[in-house]
Amino acid sequence: MSQSQRYVVLPAFGFSGPVLSQSAALSKVGPTVSLAKSPRARTPRADTSLRVLHSTHENGPKLVEMTPRAELNLRLDTPGLKIVPVVEYRKLYVQYRILDKVSIKGAASGGVALSVVSKADGTPITEARVVAFTNFDRREGAEGVSNRRGEVVLKLKSGQAIERLYVYAPAGFWGFFATGFAAKNGGTIKLAPVDLSSAETLLPSFIKRIPLDAGAGVRVAIVDSGIAAKHPALPGVQGANLVFDEIQNNPGATTEWGPASNEGEHGTHVAGIVGAKPVGSSSVRGVAPGVELRSYRVFPNSGGGATNYDIMNAIDRAVLDGCHIINLSLGGGAEDEAVRAAIGNALDKGVLVVAAAGNDGRRAVSFPAALPSCVSVSAMGRRGTFPKESTESSDIAKPFGDPDKDAFIAAFSNVGPQIDVTGPGVGVVSTLPENAYGVMSGTSMACPAVTGFAAYVLGANKDIMAAKKSERVKRLKEALYRNCRTFGFGRDFEGFGMPTPASQVMEKKRNAKNRATRRG
């Protein structure tokens, strides 16, 4: 088909309906059909062919390939449809990237060589991504990845001014951040190892007082880049691969719900925040280690974004599989009716959807977190929970907490009246593929922390679990919000505040009262 595009076809209202099976043009997957041309069409020879690539159910949404002219004719042929272009969503973790490279004319050596080593013993660190901005606002500069000797060459002139330097570390290390210096050949960057036994990082303070069996009996869907099946902290994971382009000609690939081959770490990190179990000497655990995790992979092995059709399909699959809560650490772009319809259907079936607000630097809350039906989560952090020279130090920004002056809403976090709660999203230590642990930041991390807390609340309240359909979502939201405490950031930054166990809230109030008494 010439100039064909992909669309998601749904009923005008709702998620599924007989109009999708009754339409002759949409009734069969595979064959190409030609739609009747409009008698008033100015281009009577325009291609009006259409092909249904996939159908979620007989009466469910369809993935269709057709020309723009065919799309118009389909609207005339079958009234009562909603036809949505296929768009992509991105993962919502923070890593700044170079958009424009800097010219290195006149550089004698072809660049500036740096070494990346462990701060503990000087061991070279491979796979560290070094990003040097000569102009951060325009995202100009140079970047590279350290080799097995820990060396990286940046295409900059010696002495060139570096406005900001970010080093994004591999598993087991904190990143690095510095500002305002000149590029110098032979420099060394030292990365601090992550102490997996430390209780001083951000997540342990969030999960204080939450028992290890929290979330028992609750099934949580992670719609993301896949979860590492063999990580000892994540036993018993099941799921499905919903990337259409991978399963179209290979139905067996639906079982490949593990991490995507490229950029696949994100889903495992998110899953660990929800429900990782402590293993051996590591004290790293999720908020609700008692949950049953389901992996629905929507980000492709090739890397890049996830389509709205695949996300919609994953949400639908999670509902059919009996999940109680769906975590969406993804977003971006304009409002999308396909994902909106899938979330609405999940809500009607009693499934809570928690979504990350986005990392666009205090801009408006991204979709789908902007939907009133979702629990929208911003990201907060606390000074002292990460090394002073780490990348997380660049995320410190106003507003600060009151009375907790070390607490802050991350500089990257989107905010606005759609925010329902905030969660720990700066320098969060969690699981990674290859049985590893590492640090990530973003509303992607704050979102599963809240998902885990919601699972804890649901598992501990049989009356909420017993509620039917949308009533269960309503009551679970109310219980979640009642368990929040505010930091004083302001309504558009934190909503109801951060979910906190009631006993922990009372302890904090007692400590504050005792401090006030001593000062008096």
The model's pTM: 0.93
Catalytic residue among 54, 77, 224, 393: 224
Q: Is residue 126 within a helix (H) or strand (E), and if so which, with residue range?
A: none
Strand 375-382 relative to strand 407-409, pairing: antiparallel
Q: What is the pLDDT of residue 45?
A: 53
Known catalytic residue at 266 = yes
Tell me the C-alpha distance between 348 and 354, whole Å.
15
347-361 in b/e burial notation, b at 16+ Cβ within 10 A? bebbbbbbbbbbbbe
Q: Which of 266, 373, 420, 441 is catalytic?
A: 266
- What is the distance between the alpha carbons of residues 342 and 319, in angstroms, rounded to a whole number? 10
Contacts of 40 (CB under 8 A, 6+ apart): none
Out of 4, 23, 394, 444, pick the active-site residue: 444
Mean pLDDT in consecutive groups of 10 residues from the start of the chain, 520 residues: 85 94 88 70 65 93 94 91 96 93 60 96 98 96 97 94 97 97 94 95 92 97 97 97 96 97 97 96 94 98 96 98 98 90 98 98 97 98 97 97 96 98 98 97 98 97 97 98 96 97 53 49
Structural domains of the chain, ranges and CATH numbers in brackets: 5-86 (no CATH), 100-191 (2.60.40.10), 202-505 (3.40.50.200)
Within 5-95, where are the H helices? 19-22, 68-77
Q: Which residues contact 151 (CB under 8 A, 6 or more apart)?
A: 113, 114, 115, 116, 124
Task: Assess whether 224 carries a catalytic annotation.
Answer: yes
Greatest Cα-to-Cα distance within the chain, rounded to the nearest angstrom: 87
